[in-house]
Amino acid sequence: MAHVFHGSLKRLDDPERRRILPARELLEQMGIKQGDTVLDFGAGIGYFSIPALDVVGESGEVIAIDLSKRMLKELKRRAGERPNLVISQANDLGTYTADVILLVTVLHEVDDPKEFLESCFTHLNTGGRIFVIDWQKKETPHGPPMSVRIAKTEVLSMTQHPHREHPIHEYFYFLEFW
Protein backbone atom coordinates (compact mmCIF):
# COMPACT_ATOMS: atom_id res chain seq x y z
CA MET A 1 0.00 0.00 0.00
CA ALA A 2 1.19 3.48 -0.81
CA HIS A 3 0.15 5.15 2.46
CA VAL A 4 -1.39 3.53 5.53
CA PHE A 5 -3.06 5.25 8.49
CA HIS A 6 -1.06 4.71 11.69
CA GLY A 7 -2.59 7.30 14.01
CA SER A 8 -4.93 7.01 16.96
CA LEU A 9 -8.16 5.13 16.26
CA LYS A 10 -10.00 7.91 18.12
CA ARG A 11 -9.23 10.24 15.19
CA LEU A 12 -11.26 7.94 12.92
CA ASP A 13 -14.46 8.49 14.88
CA ASP A 14 -14.28 11.89 16.53
CA PRO A 15 -17.05 14.53 16.57
CA GLU A 16 -15.31 16.65 13.91
CA ARG A 17 -15.15 13.71 11.49
CA ARG A 18 -18.82 12.94 12.12
CA ARG A 19 -19.64 16.58 11.33
CA ILE A 20 -17.71 16.81 8.06
CA LEU A 21 -18.26 13.21 6.91
CA PRO A 22 -21.70 12.09 8.19
CA ALA A 23 -21.69 8.37 7.31
CA ARG A 24 -25.41 7.59 7.65
CA GLU A 25 -26.41 10.68 5.67
CA LEU A 26 -23.92 9.86 2.89
CA LEU A 27 -25.09 6.22 2.72
CA GLU A 28 -28.66 7.44 2.28
CA GLN A 29 -27.52 9.90 -0.40
CA MET A 30 -25.95 6.92 -2.24
CA GLY A 31 -29.36 5.30 -2.48
CA ILE A 32 -28.33 2.13 -0.65
CA LYS A 33 -31.42 0.15 0.25
CA GLN A 34 -32.65 -2.86 2.21
CA GLY A 35 -31.30 -6.09 0.75
CA ASP A 36 -28.24 -4.55 -0.92
CA THR A 37 -24.76 -6.00 -0.58
CA VAL A 38 -22.27 -3.28 0.31
CA LEU A 39 -18.52 -3.88 0.13
CA ASP A 40 -16.55 -1.39 2.21
CA PHE A 41 -12.93 -1.61 1.10
CA GLY A 42 -10.55 -0.10 3.63
CA ALA A 43 -13.35 -0.40 6.19
CA GLY A 44 -11.12 0.56 9.10
CA ILE A 45 -13.02 0.68 12.38
CA GLY A 46 -16.38 0.41 10.63
CA TYR A 47 -17.15 4.10 10.27
CA PHE A 48 -19.25 3.33 7.16
CA SER A 49 -19.68 -0.44 7.56
CA ILE A 50 -21.59 -0.30 10.83
CA PRO A 51 -24.20 2.28 9.75
CA ALA A 52 -24.48 0.42 6.41
CA LEU A 53 -25.63 -2.66 8.34
CA ASP A 54 -28.71 -0.75 9.45
CA VAL A 55 -29.36 0.63 5.97
CA VAL A 56 -29.19 -2.78 4.21
CA GLY A 57 -31.14 -4.47 7.00
CA GLU A 58 -31.19 -8.16 7.84
CA SER A 59 -31.83 -9.08 4.19
CA GLY A 60 -28.67 -7.28 3.07
CA GLU A 61 -25.01 -7.82 3.72
CA VAL A 62 -21.96 -5.69 4.47
CA ILE A 63 -18.52 -6.96 3.53
CA ALA A 64 -15.83 -5.06 5.43
CA ILE A 65 -12.32 -5.50 4.04
CA ASP A 66 -9.19 -4.01 5.55
CA LEU A 67 -5.52 -4.93 5.67
CA SER A 68 -5.13 -3.96 9.33
CA LYS A 69 -5.88 -6.55 12.02
CA ARG A 70 -5.99 -3.68 14.51
CA MET A 71 -8.73 -1.88 12.58
CA LEU A 72 -10.78 -5.04 12.01
CA LYS A 73 -10.55 -6.00 15.68
CA GLU A 74 -12.00 -2.59 16.58
CA LEU A 75 -14.70 -2.91 13.88
CA LYS A 76 -15.75 -6.29 15.32
CA ARG A 77 -15.82 -4.86 18.85
CA ARG A 78 -18.01 -1.93 17.74
CA ALA A 79 -20.35 -3.98 15.53
CA GLY A 80 -20.83 -6.91 17.86
CA GLU A 81 -22.18 -10.16 16.46
CA ARG A 82 -24.06 -9.30 13.27
CA PRO A 83 -25.03 -12.18 10.97
CA ASN A 84 -25.02 -9.92 7.90
CA LEU A 85 -21.46 -8.64 8.47
CA VAL A 86 -18.53 -10.35 6.74
CA ILE A 87 -15.10 -9.21 7.92
CA SER A 88 -12.08 -9.98 5.75
CA GLN A 89 -8.43 -9.11 6.28
CA ALA A 90 -7.10 -8.57 2.76
CA ASN A 91 -5.58 -6.01 0.40
CA ASP A 92 -7.89 -6.84 -2.52
CA LEU A 93 -11.55 -7.63 -3.15
CA GLY A 94 -11.02 -11.38 -3.30
CA THR A 95 -13.98 -13.16 -4.90
CA TYR A 96 -16.64 -10.91 -3.40
CA THR A 97 -19.26 -9.15 -5.50
CA ALA A 98 -21.52 -6.34 -4.37
CA ASP A 99 -24.24 -3.92 -5.38
CA VAL A 100 -22.22 -1.05 -3.95
CA ILE A 101 -18.48 -0.74 -3.42
CA LEU A 102 -17.34 1.99 -1.04
CA LEU A 103 -13.85 3.44 -1.44
CA VAL A 104 -13.87 6.05 1.31
CA THR A 105 -10.56 7.82 1.95
CA VAL A 106 -8.70 4.73 0.77
CA LEU A 107 -7.90 5.05 -2.95
CA HIS A 108 -4.74 7.00 -2.09
CA GLU A 109 -3.62 4.02 0.04
CA VAL A 110 -3.50 1.38 -2.72
CA ASP A 111 -0.32 0.79 -4.72
CA ASP A 112 -1.89 1.18 -8.17
CA PRO A 113 -5.11 3.21 -7.81
CA LYS A 114 -6.00 3.09 -11.52
CA GLU A 115 -5.65 -0.69 -11.77
CA PHE A 116 -7.49 -1.15 -8.48
CA LEU A 117 -10.39 1.12 -9.46
CA GLU A 118 -10.80 -0.68 -12.79
CA SER A 119 -10.75 -4.04 -11.01
CA CYS A 120 -13.62 -2.90 -8.80
CA PHE A 121 -15.97 -2.87 -11.79
CA THR A 122 -15.49 -6.64 -12.19
CA HIS A 123 -16.78 -7.10 -8.62
CA LEU A 124 -20.08 -5.27 -9.16
CA ASN A 125 -23.39 -7.05 -9.46
CA THR A 126 -25.55 -6.02 -12.42
CA GLY A 127 -26.55 -2.39 -11.94
CA GLY A 128 -23.92 -1.92 -9.24
CA ARG A 129 -22.13 1.30 -8.36
CA ILE A 130 -18.78 2.40 -6.94
CA PHE A 131 -18.50 5.41 -4.66
CA VAL A 132 -15.18 7.18 -4.19
CA ILE A 133 -14.92 9.68 -1.37
CA ASP A 134 -11.44 11.01 -0.85
CA TRP A 135 -9.49 14.04 0.28
CA GLN A 136 -9.19 17.04 -2.03
CA LYS A 137 -5.63 17.60 -3.15
CA LYS A 138 -5.34 20.84 -1.20
CA GLU A 139 -4.27 21.81 2.30
CA THR A 140 -6.84 20.84 4.94
CA PRO A 141 -6.56 20.72 8.74
CA HIS A 142 -7.00 16.93 8.64
CA GLY A 143 -6.13 14.09 6.30
CA PRO A 144 -3.12 12.40 4.77
CA PRO A 145 -0.04 14.24 3.51
CA MET A 146 -0.54 16.23 0.31
CA SER A 147 2.08 14.09 -1.41
CA VAL A 148 -0.16 10.99 -1.31
CA ARG A 149 -3.53 12.57 -2.08
CA ILE A 150 -5.10 11.92 -5.48
CA ALA A 151 -6.86 14.84 -7.14
CA LYS A 152 -10.43 14.38 -8.31
CA THR A 153 -9.34 15.00 -11.90
CA GLU A 154 -6.80 12.16 -11.58
CA VAL A 155 -9.49 9.76 -10.35
CA LEU A 156 -11.79 10.76 -13.21
CA SER A 157 -9.01 10.06 -15.70
CA MET A 158 -8.50 6.54 -14.30
CA THR A 159 -11.63 5.09 -15.91
CA GLN A 160 -13.93 5.60 -18.85
CA HIS A 161 -16.98 4.45 -16.88
CA PRO A 162 -19.79 6.99 -16.51
CA HIS A 163 -19.86 9.00 -13.32
CA ARG A 164 -21.58 11.75 -11.42
CA GLU A 165 -20.38 13.98 -8.63
CA HIS A 166 -22.29 14.47 -5.37
CA PRO A 167 -22.12 17.36 -2.91
CA ILE A 168 -19.96 16.88 0.17
CA HIS A 169 -17.82 18.88 2.59
CA GLU A 170 -15.15 21.04 0.94
CA TYR A 171 -12.31 18.83 2.20
CA PHE A 172 -13.49 15.91 0.05
CA TYR A 173 -14.80 14.90 -3.36
CA PHE A 174 -17.62 12.38 -3.77
CA LEU A 175 -17.81 10.47 -7.05
CA GLU A 176 -20.21 7.76 -8.18
CA PHE A 177 -19.30 5.37 -11.02
CA TRP A 178 -21.37 2.69 -12.73
pTM of the model: 0.92
| Per-residue pLDDT tens over the stretch 31-83 | 999 999 999 999 999 999 999 999 999 999 999 999 999 999 999 999 999 99
Indicate whether 97 pLDDT > 90.
yes
129 touches 107 (CB < 8 A): no
Going from the N-terminus, what domains does the chain have, and what CATH number goes with each?
Answer: 9-177 (3.40.50.150)
CA–CA dist 62, 58 (Å, integer): 10
Element (H, E) at 36: none
| Per-residue pLDDT tens over the stretch 99-117 | 999 999 999 999 999 999 9
